[in-house]
């Protein structure tokens, strides 16, 4: 892709995802087609979360004193909180913050709700809009001032082990979601200077964008007892004593939708995994002077048949040339189109075209074409996933020479390095390369054992003696594999 | 109900609908059970709207200059708009309003979207939170500062007739929704001094609460060309000339949920129409010392069988006495409970209890009990509707003596009067009675003809000569039936 940024802005407009002409910088309107894409992604997400979490809804506004309670947390957000100071013509007695995230809205209530160890764990989530007064350059769905789709989960536990386990459970949930969306991810533990303000540690998902930059698309935080102490969230334990609770929180945003668009899309438009495509099949009648009614009747029959199997299908019966309809089909990201003309009808067949490969497949209308289409949906999902993962994996390069790191990244790659894990050394690496350390990675393929979960660093294990290496910068013993990238 | 207000606050807390202890007046937290109730109501609402409207999502914040553009409109809201004045530590160049409603957020975009008569009508809706800085006494879900569930639809038309017809279409949509929720309604045309700021006229739905007051639960506004002129929404007509568009908008809020709770609930708790109940069936195993496993196995079997028919069912297998489970069932508003003990199992039967009547019905587990339960759902829905409508109708009294109106209303009724329709006279009636004129009513049973829709007052027709009466106040000729009530 020649100019990703231009392509991205164009596709959001042309595929009618959002309209960014709204008269406030960093805030956009979800258009009907984009809204549907968002809706089906949220449907999948909610199905995953409803199994084990309760959905709730907290107020948008947070009193100033609650926001200020947790010192480290508020410091992380104070430059980007929007403040409500007036109601009507009147100045408010107490300023109200528009939530940048909901810890300080939720935890005063958790303090009222949590009573006994019997009530724990508690697992809640909500999907809301949140706000950040971004001073950097904004970019639709990526860096915005109104995050319209903020999924945040918050859990409360009676011990440290359960909180650490919940971090792993959340990571598995997010992996399922991203796999379903065919979005590749790199999971790492953020360096201490980049963790969530107030958290013990932060695990993060980054995805690799077509322009060679990585985008943070999900984070999971182990909050330890920090917020419980600030907001007085205590429970009575088995022995009848009162203890501070252990908490986690984890979040996703509009960036998940941005990734689906950016990672799968091509020069012709959107390419969408079937599970979340607003329309999953578009039927295009090819009508000449004669035989139009019969063709339309068959199209309607196919439509009903697919609908009764729960497939989202539409007939494009607009009065225009098929070429324009094919163009719109490709732009919209609909996974399959079916073309049917009088000659096809005579032979009781139709032409099916896959959006991802543009491959043409003849289908026999006398056979069970619905299950054939379901199969192709599966194939499309797998193809998108494999293609995206292959592209990501091909673009991760190991380096042990700090001087070349910047160049490799400038060529659109992610660099994996050996690192000592020391904060000063890490910051020096970031300064020298003018890049970010995403974080430290778990060793691939190595199964994590249950007992290791009760440490605070479940995902970052020291390498075995025989594989010991030296830090790319300070040359001391390297403890971690770290990823370095240009980030959004 | 002795003290409705106390009952209402208690039930919101005990049935775990919302938690109103959030530290900002007029803003509450939706708890899991309440959230589900809200979710299923929204599901029904969205199904109705998705047939003919496109769902969109506009930003929460509105620039001050856009909000101020439509003079009459802004005057109606200026005392209750929350203002965002700071981003981080910095004062914003331009203040931002938190939407009290979205006309001024949407219509600048409509001005970009509307081009030709071919694009019209456009029909959009969104479900969002909106804010009003209420200075009156707040009441959860009824008079709040954060309206968490604001469904607003906005339509654009190429002529006055279509806009007037859309008002009627919207009224029919709302009737369907309220009928499904078994909420009775009185439809009237609001007096001019009580219409939506900026509208040509406002049609309103009011419902009758157990405390004798009426609550506005839905409004439909014909906006004429007022906003089109302000926001420059023009289309090219058939002749190639540019014309201002015609608009309508219509909205519902949390009050719909409040009405479901208040109108159907009883001393034991919630009573919910099956379509929107979070759990539709609760199975309660009655377990003694022996035979527990067989009873549980049968309960699981019934659960699966009901689930496969799409019924939302749960088994209450908590380790506690059945009495407490019955209590919780009644509190939660679940429409049906099924009790199954070892003796029932031996006879292959179970006891079903309807929440609305508490009637016990024996069901034969060898027969198709799923369809039996579906039938009972129907009966419950009809029973709730009939009961609620009967109560409303019994409490509307006609009066032709202004002196007695206040007393009748003080006794918990709505009064119907003959009225001249004159603004000064109407305001005098309100002053004398210290009550509100809800509005003027269409004659019941009289079919509205298509041609009548192109007037601006489709729902308020002059009575025939033989039925002429005099105004309750000024004694001039009465043109309308008007409703007078104590309103929320």
pLDDT tens by residue, B42-96: 999 999 999 999 999 999 999 999 999 988 888 888 899 999 999 999 999 999 9
Which parts of chain B register pLDDT below 50?
444-456, 458
pLDDT in tens, A179-192: 999 999 999 999 99
Q: What's the rounded mean pLDDT across residues A111-140?
A: 96
Chain A neighbors of B20, CB-CB under 8 A: none
B308–chain A nearest CA distance, Å: 16
| pLDDT confidence tier of residue A460, bands split at 50, 70 and 90 | low
**Chain A positions in Cβ-Cβ contact with residue B66 (cut-off 8 Å):** 23
Shortest CB distance from A81 goes to which of B58, B81, B88? Answer: B88
With an 8 Å Cβ cutoff, is B310 touching chain A? no
**pLDDT at residue B73, as a whole number:** 83
Q: What is the C-alpha separation between A40 and B143, in angstroms, rounded?
A: 33
Q: Where in chain A is the domain with CATH 3.30.110.30?
A: 396-485
The answer to whether B60 contacts A87, with C-beta atoms less than 8 Å apart, is no
Average pLDDT, chain A: 93
Say yes or no for a CB contact (<8 Å) between A85 and B86: yes
CATH topology of domain A4-264: BirA Bifunctional Protein; domain 2 (3.30.930)
Question: According to the model, what pLDDT value does residue A456 have?
Answer: 45
Q: Is residue A399 predicted with pLDDT exceeding 80?
A: yes
pTM comes to 0.94
- B72 contacts chain A (CB < 8 A): no
Question: Which CATH superfamily is A274-387 part of?
Answer: Anticodon-binding domain (3.40.50.800)
Tell me the per-residue pLDDT of B217-258, one tens digit each, with 9 for 90 and over: 999 999 999 999 999 999 999 999 999 999 999 999 999 999
**Which residue spans of chain A are classified as CATH 3.40.50.800?**
274-387
Is A32 in Cβ contact with B59 (below 8 Å)? no
Q: What is the pLDDT of residue B240?
A: 95
pLDDT band at residue A447 under the 50/70/90 scheme: very low
Do the chains contact at B85 and A83, CB–CB below 8 Å? yes
| ipTM, interface predicted TM-score of the complex | 0.94
* pLDDT score, position A445: 35
- Average pLDDT (A156-162) is 98
Which chain A residues touch B146 with a CB distance below 8 Å? 59-61
Q: Using an 8 Å Cβ cutoff, are B122 and B80 in contact?
A: no
DSSP class of B477: B
- The β-bridge partners of B97 are B62, B83
Question: Which of B36, B56, B59 would best serve as a mutation to test chain A binding (most A beta carbons within 10 A)?
Answer: B59
pLDDT digits (tens, 9 = 90+) for A305-361: 999 999 999 999 999 999 999 999 999 999 999 999 999 999 999 999 999 999 999
Residue A404 reports pLDDT greater than 60? yes
- Quick one: how many helices (H) and strands (E) in chain A? 14, 25
CA triple B233-B239-B240, angle to 5 deg: 55
CATH of B396-485, one of 3.90.1150.10, 3.60.20.10, 3.30.110.30, 3.40.50.300: 3.30.110.30
Q: What is the mean pLDDT of residues A374-396?
A: 98
Q: Which residues contact A262 (CB under 8 A, 6 or more apart)?
A: A4, A8, A209, A210
pLDDT at A448: 38
pLDDT at residue A385 is higher than 60: yes
Q: List pLDDT tens digits, range B87-132.
A: 999 999 999 999 999 999 999 999 999 999 999 999 999 999 999 9
Q: How far apart are the first and last CA of chain A?
A: 18
Q: Does A25 touch chain B (CB under 8 A)?
A: no
Nearest to A185 by CA among A266, A271, A101, A263: A263
A87 shares contact with chain B (CB less than 8 Å): yes
Check CB contact of A85 with chain B, cutoff 8 Å: yes
State how far the Cα of B50 lies from the Cα of A307, in Å rounded to an integer: 16
Contacts of A39 in chain B (CB under 8 A): 55
Residue A38, phi then psi, degrees to nearest 5 = -60, -40
CB contact under 8 Å between B109 and A22, yes or no, is yes
Query: What mean pLDDT comes out for the span A72-89?
Result: 92
**What does the buried/exposed string (b/e) look like for B364-381 if buried means 16 or more CB atoms within 10 Å of the residue's CB?**
ebeeebbeebbebbebbb
Q: Does A332 touch chain B (CB under 8 A)?
A: no
How far is the CA of B381 from the CAs of A351, B375, B386, in angstroms?
A: 48, 10, 9
B-chain CB neighbours of A61 within 8 Å are 24, 27, 146
Q: Is the pLDDT of residue A463 over 80?
A: no
Q: Which residues of B touch A31 (CB under 8 A)?
A: 56
Chain A interface mutation, best of B26, B38, B47, B60, highest count of A Cβ atoms under 10 Å: B60
Q: What is the pLDDT of residue A288?
A: 80
Distance from CA of A28 to the nearest CA of B (A): 6
* pLDDT for the residue B74: 86
d(Cα A338, Cα A341) in Å, to the nearest integer? 10
Alpha carbon of residue A316 to chain centroid: 31
A320 at interface of B, judged by CB pairs closer than 8 A: no
Q: Give yes or no for B39 touching A (CB within 8 A).
A: yes
Beta bridge partners, A154, equal A124, A249
Residues of A in contact with B89 (CB under 8 A): 78-79
CA distance, residue A103 to nearest chain B CA (Å): 13
Please indicate if any CB of chain A lies within 8 Å of the CB of B29. yes
Could you give the CA distance from residue A486 to residue A415 in angstroms, rounded to a whole number? 10
- Within chain B, all domains assigned CATH 3.30.930.10 are found at 4-264
pLDDT of residue B1: 55
Which chain A residues contact residue B278 at CB under 8 A?
Answer: none
Q: In this model, does residue A371 exceed pLDDT 70?
A: yes
CA distances from B119 to B114, B158, B221 (A): 7, 9, 22
Q: Give the DSSP per-residue string, B115-130.
A: -BGGG--EEEEEEEEE
Q: Check CB contact under 8 Å for B112 and A61.
A: no
- Which residues in chain A touch residue B108, judged by CB atoms under 8 angstroms apart? 22-23
CA distance linking residue A155 with residue A100, whole number of Å = 18
Give B190-232 as a DSSP string: PPGGGS-TT-SEEEEEEEE-TTS-EEEEEEEEEEETHHHHHHT
With beta carbons under 8 A apart, name residues in chain B contacting A98: 84, 98
Q: Which residues contact A387 (CB under 8 A, 6 or more apart)?
A: none
- For residue B246, give every residue at least 6 positions away whose Cβ sits within 8 Å of its Cβ, in sequence order, or none: B156, B157, B158, B159, B160, B162, B163, B223, B224, B225, B228
Any B CB within 8 A of A375 CB: no
Confidence tier at A449 by pLDDT (50, 70, 90): very low
B144/chain A closest Cα distance in angstroms = 11
- Give the one of A29, A88, A131 whose C-beta lies nearest to B109's C-beta: A29
* pLDDT beyond 50 at A446: no
Q: What is the mean pLDDT of chain B?
A: 93
Q: Which of B65, B82, B97, B149 to mutate to test the interface with A (most CBs of A within 10 A)?
A: B82
Report phi then psi at A123, rounded to 5: -135, 115
Neighbours of A100 (CB within 10 A): 23
With 50 as the cut, is the pLDDT of residue A451 above it? no
- Burial (CB count <10 Å: 0-12, 13-18, 19+), residue B3: exposed
Tokens of A412: 């659109």
Write out chain B residues lying below 8 Å of A19, CB-based. Answer: 109, 112
User: Which member of A35, A55, A61 has the closest CB to residue B27?
Assistant: A61
pLDDT: which is higher, A193 or A451: A193
The answer to whether residue B71 neighbours chain A at the CB level (below 8 Å) is no
User: On the CB side of B104, how many CA atoms lie within 13 Å of its CA?
Assistant: 27
CATH architecture observed for domain B274-379: 3-Layer(aba) Sandwich (3.40)
Confirm or reject contact between A445 and chain B (CB < 8 A): no
CB pairs under 8 A between A and B: 142
The pLDDT score that the predictor gives to residue B447 is 38
Query: Out of B35, B131, B133, whose CB is closest to A57?
Result: B35
């Amino acid at each position: 892709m020649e100019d990703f940024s231009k392509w991205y802005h164009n596709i959001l407009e042309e595929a009618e995802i959002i309209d960014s002409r709204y008269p406030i910088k960093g805030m956009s309107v979800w258009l009907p087609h984009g809204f549907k894409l968002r809706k089906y992604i949220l449907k999948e997400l909610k199905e995953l979360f409803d199994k084990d979490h309760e959905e709730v809804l907290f107020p948008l506004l947070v009193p100033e004193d609650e926001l200020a309670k947790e010192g480290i947390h508020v410091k992380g957000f104070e430059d980007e909180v929007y403040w409500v100071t007036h109601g009507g013509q009147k100045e408010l007695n107490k300023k109200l913050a528009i939530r940048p995230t909901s810890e300080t809205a939720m935890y005063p209530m958790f303090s009222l709700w949590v009573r006994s160890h019997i009530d724990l764990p508690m697992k809640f989530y909500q999907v809301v809009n949140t706000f950040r007064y971004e001073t950097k350059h904004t970019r639709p769905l990526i860096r915005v001032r109104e995050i319209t789709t903020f999924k945040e989960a918050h859990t409360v536990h009676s011990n440290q082990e359960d909180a650490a386990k919940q971090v792993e459970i959340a990571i598995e949930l997010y992996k399922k979601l991203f796999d379903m969306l065919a979005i590749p991810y790199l999971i790492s533990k953020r360096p201490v200077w980049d963790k969530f303000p107030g958290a013990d540690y932060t695990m993060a998902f980054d995805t690799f964008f077509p322009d060679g930059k990585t985008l943070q698309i999900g984070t999971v935080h182990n909050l330890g007892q920090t917020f419980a102490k600030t907001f007085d969230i205590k429970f009575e334990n088995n022995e009848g004593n009162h203890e501070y609770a252990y908490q986690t929180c984890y979040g996703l945003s509009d960036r998940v939708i941005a990734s689906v668009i950016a990672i799968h899309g091509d020069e012709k438009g959107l390419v969408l995994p079937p599970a979340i495509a607003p329309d999953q099949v578009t039927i295009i009648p090819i009508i000449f002077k004669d035989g139009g009614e019969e063709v339309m009747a068959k199209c309607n029959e196919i439509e009903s048949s697919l609908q009764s199997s729960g497939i989202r299908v539409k007939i494009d019966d607009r009065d225009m040339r098929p070429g324009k309809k094919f163009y719109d089909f490709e732009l919209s990201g609909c996974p399959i189109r079916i073309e049917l003309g009088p000659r096809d009808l005579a032979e009781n067949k139709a032409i099916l075209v896959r959006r991802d490969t543009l491959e043409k497949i003849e289908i026999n209308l006398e056979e069970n074409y619905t299950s054939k289409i379901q199969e192709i949906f599966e194939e499309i999902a797998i193809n998108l996933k494999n293609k995206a993962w292959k592209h990501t994996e091909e673009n991760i390069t190991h380096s042990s020479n700090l001087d070349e790191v910047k160049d490799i990244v400038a060529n659109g790659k992610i660099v994996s390095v050996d690192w000592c894990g020391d904060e000063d050394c890490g910051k020096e690496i970031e300064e020298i390369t003018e890049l970010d350390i995403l974080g430290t990675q778990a060793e691939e393929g190595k199964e994590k054992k249950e007992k290791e979960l009760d440490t605070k660093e479940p995902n970052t294990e020291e390498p075995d003696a025989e594989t010991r290496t030296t830090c790319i910068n300070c040359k001391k013993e390297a403890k971690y594999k770290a990823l370095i990238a240009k980030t959004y």
